[in-house]
Amino acid sequence: MLRFIARRLALAIITLLLLSLIVFAISNVLPQDVGRSILGPFASQETVDAMNHKLGTDQPKLDQYLHLLKQIVTFDFGDSFQTGQPVSDLIKTTLQNSAKLAILALVITVPLGIFAGTLAALRRDTIVDRVIVMFGLAGSSLPEFVTSTFLVVLLGTQLHLLPPLANWPPGSNIFEQIHYLLLPALALVLVYFGYIARMARAGMIVALESDYTRTAMMKGISRGTVIRRHVLRNALLPTIAVVATSTGYLFGGLLAVELIFNINGLGRLLVTAAKAKDLPVLQAGVLVIGIIYMFATLIADILISWLNPRIRLGSEG
Amino acid sequence: MGDPALLEPPPPGAIQVDTTSARSTARRETVRLLMRRPEFLIGMGILLFWVTCAIFGERLAPHDPQLPNPLFSHAPPGSDNWSYVLGTDRFGRDVLSRVIVGARDVLIVAPIAALLGVTLGTLLGLVMGYYRGLLDDVLSRVVEAFLSLPVTLVALLTLVMLGSSTKTVVLVVGVLFAPIVARTVRAAVLSERELDYVQAAKLRGENGPMIMTREILPNITGPIIVELTVRVGYAIFTISTLSFLGVGIQPPSPDWGLQISEEYSMIINGYWWTVFFPSIAIASVVIATNLVADALQSVLQR
Amino acid sequence: MSAMPREEQHAALEVEGLDVSYIVRGVPRAVLRGVSFTVAPGEAYGLVGESGCGKSTTAFAALRYLPRNGRITGGRAVIDGTDVTHLSAGQLQRLRATRVSMVYQDPGAALNPTLRIGTQVEEAFTVLGQSNARDKAIAALDRVRIADPRRVMERYPHQLSGGMQQRVVIAMALACDPQLLVLDEPTTGLDATVEAEVLDLVQSLRVDTGAAILLIAHNLGVIRRMCDRVGVMYAGKVVEEGPAVEVFDNPKHPYTVGLLRCLPRRGARREIRRLQTIPGFLPQIGEDLPACVFVDRCQLATEVCRTDPPPLVAVGDSRYSRCHHTDRIDEIPEPAVDPQELQVTRQEKAPVLSLRNVSKTFKQSGQPVFALADVDLDLRAGETLGLVGESGSGKTTLAKTVLGIHAPDEGGAVVLDGTELGGVVTQRSSEAKRAIQIVFQNPDSALNRSHSVRYIITRALKKLAGITGHEAERRLDSLGEQVRLTPRHFDMKPAQLSGGLKQRVSIARAFAGEPRIVVCDEPTSALDVSVQAAILNLLADLQRDEGSSYIFISHDLNVVRYLSDRIAVLYLGRVMELGPAETVFNGPHHPYTEALLSAVPSVEGQPSTRIRLAGEIPSASAPPAGCVFHTRCPRFMEGVCEVEVPPLVEVEPGHMMACHIPIDELRVLQARPQEMDAGAT
């Protein structure tokens, strides 16, 4: 098992390197003239050259890439173009807020999704099943900004149930913050509930139709106990993988949601940085999100292998 | 000497074939099964509606989608004796007309991006799944690296650096979809290549590309078609999000995502219709493609 | 646990007119059409039949565990006096917990992969409300002859071998001391020697507990061995019933007669007579059938068989046959034998294929796996070499090395007509590729389901024989004729063909390039018995016509014996014995061969010796020292067998053996009928 973890970790590091390479390629290699891309067609050549020099794009590519790697390791990405603040500080503050939102969304989505998926599988082909599947399907079809819009219009401005903007007064405690974050979290829940519910349902169905469930039933164990003791643990393994990938998609969804609800999170930071062509912030932000996603999948992989005795113990005798 | 066992007709239940090729019969059977599924019909219905809008846009629209009318800016739905069925935006442009014409951009751009992604992804997946070994290991790491980044995010970064135009959007989204498709195709190839007929092909000296295209590919068209349909939905999803964020399709196009982004700040003042109806439009198209994809998956998987 | 016979009034199982349907796409399709039989208390009853006859469905219906789309549409099943068909969920649960138990076909899948063995076995006791479940579980594992039960309790299912897994399932089944034990193909998929042990175990447990047994199997030999009575099923009906020995020795229904004649019997060789086949096809589930379900394939059929359902005729003491013409059973013709047909050409020339010092070692998670070691074999033109061995014997690896799917280790060579072949198929000439072909075991995966039959064969013609265009058309027609496919089949895709037809296409494809050597890898194992006979006949015919040599792999010893000229017996990658088929089978033979033959249940009665091997087949990554068989050999000689590797030497003209015991001694030892249990290490 330890060997498995070590191997997985090594692979993760390679992936991380490739990730940095991709980001590097997009931001430094793809554009013909990085400085020009940032400053636009109307800037003077001198300002463009100055920008290029500042960014270091006049250096050989390899040096640039190594510089980026160093930045990742030391977590120092220079200063933002827009505000002059150190990028790492910006990321730290915004990441906290994004994390609050993401965790709130996950805390609601994951149990809800698993519960709904399991219920749908147990009541397969009934109206309950169809409603859950349809709802999940519809939800996961919608872009986050669409669900946000609906929710803001419906619950925010028309029904006035929840605040439409997540601007909590400074000094609010955690519960008040949650009150403000609930609407954006719901917008995310609507979208990601579907993935988890459907995977939980599929895993459950496979487990219910398997031979070992049949054996347990034939032993004369009650259906409820069979489901609890035999089915659930096998059914939930594939769901863990989906939770991990959903975490990744979630960070993509944050972009629109934070913009709409005016949350000072990483997503909004990136969007404003994009509009302002603030390259250091953009690069750093994308990398950070990528790293978070990678670790989510890494933990999920390890968790799955740990729970699966075939992998945990290998085969003997 | 003939074994009477074999001069009997084929077992009942098998489809009788005389002169028509087996392939067209199978296709007809597939279509027939699809038509019996409500989700397929609903999905196709919605899509057909929007395709019609995309093709006949200007003729169907009651007003000129680009013509501003300052007198009626932000008019609620039903204004002017229901001349503006869905209301107008801040420039007085008819929402209904803009929504109808807005279908065109999305319904042309998204499928192209999806097609690009699926083509590249299939190629990649075939090569990775068939050859395995070092090539597969390396490419899998690259694919995994791409998959760690949300598409919208990378697209954002790329479009910022390259400048956004409709063409770049299609290219970027298409290329970014390739790794996802590659993963699905690779999985399908992996299970096929263990089957004996692949071994038989190798034993008669078929080379790699032949086996990939003639032997394996025809058997994985099912998952590929499903993936294509799903990708169209995601393409719409992604492209409208990018438009919303300002790096996708540019104004003054009546693109739905763009409409929402332009009018969003006005919701506070109660002007909900400018945002609501384009949202419904996007939602309906994506849901429709997912319904069709689901139906295809169930039917092709039997 | 009671050891006394049950003094019950009720039959252990009584099935009356059971009708079961599956609902497919909204249409109910009949699977069981009024099945009736009775299992007396303490009796062993076998249900036998080919695929689709409904034997497994009967067992599951009696226990009310049908798939989601299954329905009992008529009749009833009564277990120990309780009508199962109308029980509530709670009552059903209690019945399953206390009076009836089941053992399944795939024990690995039947055990929960994420729970320890101990937990699962204890569960069988706790459901009865018993305390001390853990001790009882350990005792149960002990009872099924699992060594070191405490350690096994801590294991997970995937860590046990197939045989051990099945013992665990049996232990769980016996926990409640059931009145009725249902076994659904319990040994299909297990090696012959392991199967013999499991069957022995079931037999002795049956005697101890007095439970009645319902055994479902397609292997007639297993049924004969284990069961007092047998019911032969066809298309959802029981067509013949009676004491097992009598039914198999003297069948009274045309289907049973046909079935028995399809089997290669002891002493039958392909030069002596062809296997008889049953014309026609097995009916599909839910097909509308005439009054007598067998009429379309029956040699005795008359008009009345189509219109009137055949009565259940008593043909002996508690023997029944469902037929209008039981009196004419002896009239079923045997096929006329044309001696010219059977002549097998054999030329004594230089061998077509030679394997010299072939070894193959794989690497699996760091450990070397010695799949083949030091194999020397020759294959002559036109002869069939049978490869016999259990799992891990290396017979599949050997076949793959010959084909070029694997390359042999350094120092080994595969030689075709005197020329050494490239290790892997990509290194071989097109002549070599054409000369060596294969027929696969599984007809479904052997053919590309997107290709038509025509494409499959013409492509092979192009690549292997270099023939295209009109000539290819002609060759296609003649090949089709040779394998008995009609032109109508050419445009079909594999999904539209039955298993037997698919296998014919596979064979046609293999013969497209007029190969010198065809590897037949369990070509009939996935087929029903009646279809198997036709394919074996076909293979024999083609060999005679084309002069090809076969390397024939099968776990079914009777089939191997029928087709093979010479036989090689493999164990853990090494050749233990090599010689003419009759000699290897009749003896004197290698102790392993002896054990194998003793383990295989035959439809004609039990072998004269009963030899049981102890333990499991050792892992191929850690083969025992000296003679690899010494750990399980009942004739193990201390001081010799574990030290020195016995060389493969010629002990008689044409007969090679790798054993330290001299052949004359073996001849004497094996002449006596005996029972031996190996108590070796």
pLDDT in tens, A247-290: 877 887 888 888 888 888 888 888 888 878 888 888 888 888 88
Contact flag B15-C496 (C-beta cutoff 8 Å): yes
* Confidence category of residue B302, pLDDT binned at 50, 70, 90: low
Q: Count structural domains, chain B.
A: 1
Residue B174 maps to which CATH number? 1.10.3720.10
Is the same domain home to C396 and C526?
yes
Mean pLDDT of C23-34: 88
- Residue pair C99/C176 in contact (Cβ under 8 Å)? The answer is yes
CA distance C626 to C632: 13
Please check whether residue B215 lies inside any domain of the structure: yes
pLDDT of residue B8: 34
Least confident stretch, A171-185, B123-137, C354-368: A171-185
Amino acid in position A312: R
CB crowding B283-297: b at 16 or more within 10 Å, else e: bbbbbbbbbbbbbbb
Mean pLDDT of B220-240: 89
- pLDDT at C8 > cutoff 60: no
CA distance C73 to C88: 17
Contact flag C425-B17 (C-beta cutoff 8 Å): no
Write the pLDDT tens digit of every residue in C627-649: 999 988 888 888 889 888 999 98
Mutate to test the interface with B, among A22, A129, A149 (most CBs of B within 10 A): A149
Measured in whole angstroms, the distance separating CA C250 from the mean position of its chain's CA atoms is: 23
Report chain A residues whose CB lies below 8 A from the CB of C93: 220-222
Q: Which residues contact C225 (CB under 8 A, 6 or more apart)?
A: C199, C601, C606
- Give the residue numbers in A contacting C (CB under 8 Å), as ranges: 210-212, 214-223, 229-230, 233-234, 307-310, 313-317
- Residue pair B47/B80 in contact (Cβ under 8 Å)? The answer is no
Mutate to test the interface with C, among A212, A222, A229, A304 (most CBs of C within 10 A): A212
Is the same domain home to C390 and C530?
yes
* Confidence category of residue C347, pLDDT binned at 50, 70, 90: low
Is the same domain home to C485 and C515?
yes
- pLDDT at B39 > cutoff 90: no
Is the same domain home to C217 and C78?
yes
Q: Are strands C229-234 and C212-217 parallel, antiparallel or unpaired?
A: unpaired
Report chain C residues whose CB lies below 8 A from the CB of B206: 463
Q: Which two tokens stand for residue A48?
A: 């463009």
C-alpha dihedral sign at C10, C15, C16, C22: positive
Is the same domain home to C361 and C338?
no
pLDDT of residue C338: 64
pLDDT of residue C79: 92
Asked if omega into B252 is within 30° of 0 (cis), the reply is: yes
Q: Which residues contact C552 (CB under 8 A, 6 or more apart)?
A: C384, C385, C386, C387, C520, C523, C560, C563, C564
Element (H, E) at C437: strand C436-439
Residue C244 maps to which CATH number? 3.40.50.300
Write the pLDDT tens digit of every residue in C468-507: 999 999 999 999 999 989 899 999 999 889 889 999 999 9
Beta strands in C166-273 (DSSP E): 180-184, 212-217, 229-234, 237-243
- pLDDT at A313 > cutoff 80: no
Q: Residue B206 is nearest to which of C403, C463, C500, comparing CB atoms?
A: C463
- DSSP state letters, B40-70: HHHHHHHHHHHHHHHHHHHHH-SS-TT---G
pLDDT of residue C2: 42
Is the same domain home to C535 and C612?
no
Question: ipTM greater than 0.90, yes or no?
Answer: no
- pLDDT at C113 > cutoff 80: yes
Contact flag C497-B14 (C-beta cutoff 8 Å): yes
* Confidence category of residue C115, pLDDT binned at 50, 70, 90: very high
Nearest CA distance, C590 vs chain A (angstrom):
27
Mean pLDDT of B232-256: 84
Mean pLDDT of C2-22: 76
Q: Nearest to residue C173, comparing CAs of C161, C183, C162? A: C183
* Confidence category of residue B7, pLDDT binned at 50, 70, 90: very low
- Residue pair A296/A248 in contact (Cβ under 8 Å)? The answer is yes
Contact flag C278-B5 (C-beta cutoff 8 Å): yes
Is the same domain home to C412 and C552?
yes
pLDDT of residue B13: 34
Instruction: Match 């250096």 to its residue by tokens.
Output: A59
Contact flag B287-A141 (C-beta cutoff 8 Å): yes
Please check whether residue B246 lies inside any domain of the structure: yes
* A-C Cβ pairs (cutoff 8 Å, strict): 80
Please check whether residue B142 lies inside any domain of the structure: yes
Mutate to test the interface with A, among B46, B140, B158, B160 (most CBs of A within 10 A): B160
Report chain C residues whose CB lies below 8 A from the CB of B215: 448
Least confident stretch, A212-221, C142-151, C605-614: C605-614
Q: Which two tokens stand for residue A137?
A: 């399907």
Structural domain including C649 reads 587-677
Mean pLDDT of chain B: 83
Please check whether residue B38 lies inside any domain of the structure: no
Question: What share of chain A in percent tops pLDDT 70?
Answer: 96
> Distance between the two ends of chain C, CA-based, in angstroms?
32
Q: Residue C496 is nearest to which of B1, B14, B196, comparing CB atoms?
A: B14
pLDDT of residue B1: 31
Contact flag A282-B141 (C-beta cutoff 8 Å): no
Q: Residue B146 is nearest to which of A22, A274, A286, comparing CB atoms?
A: A22
CA dist C65 → C23, C62, C80, C92, C120 (Å): 15, 8, 18, 10, 20
CA distance A268 to C94: 61
Mean pLDDT of C404-412: 90
Q: How many CB atoms lie within 10 A of CB C194?
A: 23
Q: How many CB atoms lie within 10 A of CB C579?
A: 23
Write the pLDDT tens digit of every residue in C351-396: 889 999 999 999 887 788 999 998 999 998 889 999 999 888 899 9
Q: Nearest to residue A79, comparing CAs of A288, A280, A273, A265? A: A280
Report chain A residues whose CB lies below 8 A from the CB of C159: 313, 315-317
Residue finishing a domain among C343, C377, C401: C343
* Confidence category of residue C169, pLDDT binned at 50, 70, 90: very high
Q: How many CB atoms lie within 10 A of CB A131?
A: 12
pLDDT of residue A24: 85
- pLDDT at B214 > cutoff 90: yes
Instruction: Match 């005389």 to its residue by tokens.
Output: B18
Mutate to test the interface with B, among C447, C456, C488, C493 (most CBs of B within 10 A): C493
Least CA distance to C521: which residue of chain B?
B196
Amino acid in position C524: T
Nearest CA distance, C358 vs chain B (angstrom):
20
Report chain B residues whose CB lies below 8 A from the CB of C258: none
Asked if omega into C588 is within 30° of 0 (cis), the reply is: yes
Q: Does A150 touch chain B (CB under 8 A)?
A: yes
Subunits in contact with chain A (3 or more CB pairs closer than 8 Å): B, C
List all residues of chain B from 37 to 66 with a beta carbon under 8 Å from chain A: none
The count of residues in chain B is 302
- pLDDT at C97 > cutoff 60: yes
Contact flag C284-B5 (C-beta cutoff 8 Å): no
What is the CA angle B213-B218-B222, rounded to 5?
130
Q: Are strands C517-521 and C367-379 parallel, antiparallel or unpaired?
A: unpaired
Structural domain including B188 reads 109-302
Is the same domain home to C184 and C309?
yes
Report chain B residues whose CB lies below 8 A from the CB of C515: none
* Confidence category of residue B10, pLDDT binned at 50, 70, 90: very low
Count the alpha carbons within 13 Å of C655 in the hemisphere toward its beta carbon.
17
Please check whether residue C152 lies inside any domain of the structure: no
Q: Count structural domains, chain C.
A: 3
Please check whether residue C116 lies inside any domain of the structure: no
- DSSP state letters, C518-579: EEEESTTTTS-HHHHHHHHHHHHHHHHHH--EEEEE-S-HHHHHHH-SEEEEEETTEEEEEE
Q: Residue A277 is nearest to which of B160, B282, B290, comparing CB atoms?
A: B160
CA distance B223 to C105: 32
Write the pLDDT tens digit of every residue in C410-420: 889 999 988 88
CA dist C6 → C10, C80, C95, C208, C438 (Å): 10, 11, 18, 12, 54
Q: Does B218 touch chain C (CB under 8 A)?
A: yes
* Confidence category of residue A316, pLDDT binned at 50, 70, 90: very low
Report chain A residues whose CB lies below 8 A from the CB of C97: 219-221
Pick the most confident of A157-161, A167-171, A311-315, C255-259: C255-259
Least confident stretch, A35-39, B86-90, B274-278, C393-397: A35-39
Is the same domain home to C217 and C313?
yes
Subunits in contact with chain C (3 or more CB pairs closer than 8 Å): A, B
Mean pLDDT of C547-553: 93
Residue finishing a domain among C569, C596, C628: C569
Contact flag B8-C280 (C-beta cutoff 8 Å): yes
Q: Which two tokens stand for residue A17?
A: 């390197």
- pLDDT at B41 > cutoff 60: yes
Mean pLDDT of B244-259: 82
Please check whether residue B71 lies inside any domain of the structure: no
- pLDDT at A149 > cutoff 80: no
CA dist A234 → A136, A306, C108 (Å): 22, 13, 15
List all residues of chain A from 250 to 309 with a beta carbon under 8 Å from chain B: 251-253, 255-256, 259-260, 270-271, 274-275, 277, 282-283, 286, 289-291, 293-294, 297
Mean pLDDT of chain C: 88
Element (H, E) at C27: strand C27-39
Please check whether residue B293 lies inside any domain of the structure: yes
Mean pLDDT of chain A: 83
pLDDT of residue B23: 59
Please check whether residue B10 lies inside any domain of the structure: no
Report chain B residues whose CB lies below 8 A from the CB of C534: 3, 5-6
* B-C Cβ pairs (cutoff 8 Å, strict): 108
Q: Give residue C300's region: left, alpha or beta (phi > 0; psi -120 to 50).
A: alpha
Contact flag A274-B158 (C-beta cutoff 8 Å): no
Q: Are strands C82-83 and C70-79 parallel, antiparallel or unpaired?
A: antiparallel
Write the pLDDT tens digit of every residue in C148-158: 899 999 999 99
Nearest CA distance, C255 vs chain B (angstrom):
15
Contact flag A11-B141 (C-beta cutoff 8 Å): yes
Q: Residue A143 is nearest to which of B154, B237, B270, comparing CB atoms?
A: B237
Nearest CA distance, B135 vs chain A (angstrom):
15
Residue finishing a domain among C320, C343, C366: C343
Local structure of C457: helix, strand or coil: helix
> Distance between the two ends of chain B, CA-based, in angstroms?
39
pLDDT of residue B70: 82
* Confidence category of residue C283, pLDDT binned at 50, 70, 90: confident
> Distance between the two ends of chain A, CA-based, in angstroms?
18
pLDDT of residue C1: 40
Mean pLDDT of C263-267: 77
Nearest CA distance, B121 vs chain C (angstrom):
22
CA distance C573 to A42: 77
Subunits in contact with chain B (3 or more CB pairs closer than 8 Å): A, C
- pLDDT at C229 > cutoff 90: yes
Pick the most confident of B234-238, C168-172, C325-329: C168-172
Please check whether residue B253 lies inside any domain of the structure: yes
